[in-house]
Amino acid sequence: MTKIFWLYGRSGAGKTTLARQLHQALLDRKIPVFILDGDDLRSGVSSDLGFSSEARLENHRRIAEISKLAADQGFNVVVSTMAPQHSHRDIAAQVLGQRLVWIYVHAPLDVCIQRDPKGLYHRAQTGKLDRLLDFPFDVPRPQERENFIDTVAQNVEGCSHSILELVQAHLSDFVI
């Protein structure tokens, strides 16, 4: 069965970097894979949505539905989004069921602000971006923390290796 590996966490935690590495590792092993990044989808499929709780929920529903379509066609899917609220993760789980594998990419807010790879926190601090610093990030529930990747405790290579071990446990044709 194809799987959807959903990397989620705060902006700047390292989701996109790790998702791209996972995508490439699957391609290198000739495993069919499709990648969906929240930023890319925000500039296209979900460009009509804002950043309210309702709009974020709809964004995650759309991503889950696209993931399901790709998985139904034989692709494993790597998703990278913030999914900050339980409701966002709940809608993805509802759509994707047993195919979904959560991977929580963790870094504390102060570290994410320091990293700020896309300049989002700077824009938020200067009033040019709403609903980033003050938007709640719900602590992952136990079933969502099963696959916990701490990008402060490990470097990129270590985090990537940990994710590859998780993937190997879910895909019979994947070998590290």
Supply the mean pLDDT for the chain: 91
Write down the pLDDT at residue 131: 67
Q: pLDDT, tens digit, for every residue of 88-116?
A: 999 999 999 999 999 999 999 899 989 98
Coil vs helix vs strand at 152: coil
Determine which of 15-19, 62-66, 82-86, 170-174 has the lowest per-residue pLDDT on average.
Answer: 170-174
**134: three-class secondary structure by DSSP:** coil
Query: 116-138 in b/e burial notation, b at 16+ Cβ within 10 A?
Result: beeebbeebeeeeeeebeeeeee
Domain borders along the chain are: 4-170
pTM for the full predicted model = 0.92
Beta carbons of 8 and 102 less than 8 angstroms apart? yes
The CATH superfamily assigned to 4-170 is P-loop containing nucleotide triphosphate hydrolases (3.40.50.300)
